[in-house]
Amino acid sequence: MFRGNVWCLRSLRMVMASSVRKTLQDSRCVFSMMKTPSVFARMHSTLHVRAHRIPISRMCWNCKAYLLPNELICASCSAVQSPPASIDYFSLFSIPQTLKINVPELDKTFKRMQRLLHPDKHTAAAAGGGSRGGGGHSSAETKTSQTNLENANQASSFVNEAYGALRDPVSRMHYLLMINGSAVSEETMGRSLDQDFLMEMMDCMENAAVSRVGSAEFHELQNSVEFQIEELYVNCAEAVEVRDWPKAQSLAMKINYWNRVRTILEEKIEEHEKLEARTKRLKDAKEREMENEQQLRKS
């Protein structure tokens, strides 16, 4: 009995000693990896991706760390990445695919991204050259800086394009429909809407073309157009929420027609303002001419 207990204690000590040695080895391994930031960063990135079950589709071109789908600057080495072809504008800004977005938050995210991605931020580094001993950059550093600049140009342009598409409500609507297979085109608009609505739109366009800017009829038509667009947009947003894409597409087509009426009215206002400005310039010129004639007569 005593010998059996001694054997158990010895076995337990051996197991514990082996466990301690393994722990020390792992600690030394981690410590040595921490001495090499890029290696440690890759390990951290791998653990993060696995822990959050993020699909692995991209790796940093510089340090080979795993990247999030919308990551344009590597969190491990700060290298600028080229925008992935598969990402949509909503995912780029980490917002849901809906028409009801937080525009102020979108503005903040856009400004933050542009501060990091603007090509001017990377131009100076890319322009450096020469040898390390001469105070310049090595060829490897110069190549890295140039790659960063090229990627920054692409990424900045992509972010600008995405921001413009999502910032405007109508373009946001069309983009959302497009990426979900319900794009609005001239062909679909012509054959998908009922004839009564099309006739109504023709009448509205004619009224917009002949109405006089500043008249009661003009203001009434303006208010009607804005009301119709706003109401249709709300209904379209509700259809998007339930993923009723055919209904959302039909509502978007109607918004397009009302936007055409709005465009006619806006063009008439712009033309009217130009005419008024021209008339004012001619009047001012005539008054100056008369003043000059009076001064000449007095002299």
DSSP 40-87: HHHHHHHHHHHHTT-----B-TTT--B--TT--B-TTT--B-PPPTT-
Q: Where in the chain are the domains?
A: 1-35, 36-79, 80-167, 183-285
Q: What tokens appear for 164 in the block?
A: 């413009």
Give, in words, the CATH class of 183-285: mainly alpha
Show pLDDT as tens, one digit a residue, over the chain (299 residues): 445 455 555 565 665 655 545 544 444 433 333 334 444 344 444 444 444 444 556 899 999 999 988 999 998 998 999 998 889 999 999 999 999 999 999 999 999 999 999 888 877 666 654 444 445 556 777 788 889 899 999 999 999 999 999 999 999 999 999 999 999 987 777 677 888 999 999 999 999 999 999 999 999 999 999 999 999 999 999 999 999 999 999 999 999 999 999 999 999 999 999 999 999 999 989 888 888 888 888 77
Domain formed by 80-167, architecture? Orthogonal Bundle (1.10)
Query: Measured between alpha carbons, how far is 17 from 54 in angstroms, rounded to an integer?
Result: 38
Q: Which long-range contacts (CB under 8 A, 24 or more apart) does 288-295 make?
A: none
User: φ and ψ at 73, to 5 degrees?
Assistant: -130, 125
**Model-wide pTM > 0.85:** no
